[in-house]
């Protein structure tokens, strides 16, 4: 399996390179975030050996076990799942990024619980870009009002936006997220991150300006059904 992971990473990197070339973008503008949920420490270690540095995890307990098993690697951990307020402390203490913030209360707790001895915790706000009732995320029209109080919080660095669009029309959704991002950047020029694109649609996301693509299946293989 480790050699599969290395081969898969090479293929994904090639897809990113090609998508960047098509879009006239520098490939170094796009960070590959390998999403490890349901896969054990050995798979993550194989990704690290193949040069991946950034790992995305969705479940707090599962992630903490892997972080503990891999302290000898230079991995950077991103929390990308839904975050309940009673689980913010270990995330504030052990992760470098949180991609799914969609409420002020969560950001406030992360700010309060982030050890000041660590670099600021990087945050992306999750946007419900297709207005789906079943999905978490801030409505596009409410993002600016959420940014305002968050940028004033200590121990955090607001980096940008994240979304998980409906698969059927993700290209249009990515374009709308990009337009919202450009609009917000006129007011908050420090925003530099668009976290969008997964295994099935990374090319469309890169074309629309993604700076982080979150890839699970095409690196680690299929996951057991939830
Ligand atoms: C699982 C997950 C991914 C990876 O999805 P794949 O389709 O397996 O590449 C990306 N982002 C989030 C938020 C996820 O939960």
- Enumerate residues 6+ apart whose C-beta is below 8 A from 198: 35, 164, 205, 213, 214, 215, 216, 217
Give the per-residue pLDDT at 45. 98
User: Which pLDDT belongs to residue 226?
Assistant: 67
- Counting ligand 1 atoms within 8 A of each CB, the residue from 15, 34, 35 with the most, and so the one to mutate, is 35
214 ligand 1 Cβ < 6 A: yes
The Cα 85–Cα 87 span in angstroms is 5
- Atom 11 of ligand 1, residue of closest alpha carbon: 214
Q: State pTM to two decimals.
A: 0.97
Distance 117 CA to ligand 1 centre (A): 31
Report CA(213)–ligand 1 centroid distance (Å): 9
Burial call 49-76: b when 16+ CB within 10 Å, e when fewer = ebebebbbbbebebbbebbeebeebebe
Residue 103 Cβ < 6 Å to ligand 1: no
Q: What pLDDT, on a 0 to 100 scale, did the predictor assign at position 224?
A: 81
Q: What one-character DSSP code corresponds to residue 11? A: H
Per-residue confidence of the chain (226 residues) as pLDDT tens digits?
A: 556 999 999 999 999 999 999 999 999 999 999 999 999 999 999 999 999 999 999 999 999 999 999 999 999 999 999 999 999 999 999 999 999 999 999 999 999 999 999 999 999 999 999 998 888 899 999 999 999 999 999 999 999 999 999 988 899 999 999 999 999 999 999 999 999 999 999 999 999 999 999 999 999 999 988 6
Among 15, 79, 80, 225, the mutation site with the greatest number of ligand 1 atoms within 8 A of its Cβ is: 80
Instruction: Determine whether the shortest distance from the Cβ of 209 to ligand 1 is under 6 A.
Output: no
pLDDT of residue 190: 98
Regarding the beta carbon of 217 and ligand 1, being less than 6 Å apart is answered yes
Closest atom of ligand 1 to CA, residue 99:
13
């Amino acid at each position: 399996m480790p050699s599969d992971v290395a081969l898969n990473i090479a293929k994904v990197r090639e897809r990113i390179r090609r998508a960047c070339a098509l879009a006239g973008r520098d490939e170094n503008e796009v960070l590959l975030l390998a999403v490890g949920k349901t896969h054990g420490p050995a798979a993550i270690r194989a990704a690290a050996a193949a040069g991946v540095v950034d790992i995305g995890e969705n479940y707090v307990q599962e992630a903490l076990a892997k972080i503990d098993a891999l302290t000898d690697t230079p991995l950077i951990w991103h929390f990308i799942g839904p975050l309940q307020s009673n689980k913010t402390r270990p995330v504030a203490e052990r992760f470098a990024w949180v991609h799914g913030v969609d409420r002020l209360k969560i950001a406030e707790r992360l700010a309060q619980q982030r050890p000041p001895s660590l670099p600021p915790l990087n945050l992306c706000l999750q946007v419900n870009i297709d207005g789906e009732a079943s999905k978490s995320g801030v409505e596009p029209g409410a993002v600016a009002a959420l940014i305002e109080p968050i940028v004033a919080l200590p121990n955090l660095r607001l980096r940008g936006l994240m979304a998980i669009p409906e698969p059927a029309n993700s290209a249009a959704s990515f374009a709308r997220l990009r337009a919202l991002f450009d609009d917000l950047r006129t007011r908050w020029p420090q925003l530099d991150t668009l976290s969008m694109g997964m295994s099935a649609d990374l090319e469309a996301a890169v074309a629309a300006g993604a700076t982080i693509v979150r890839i699970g299946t095409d690196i680690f293989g299929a996951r057991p059904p939830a």
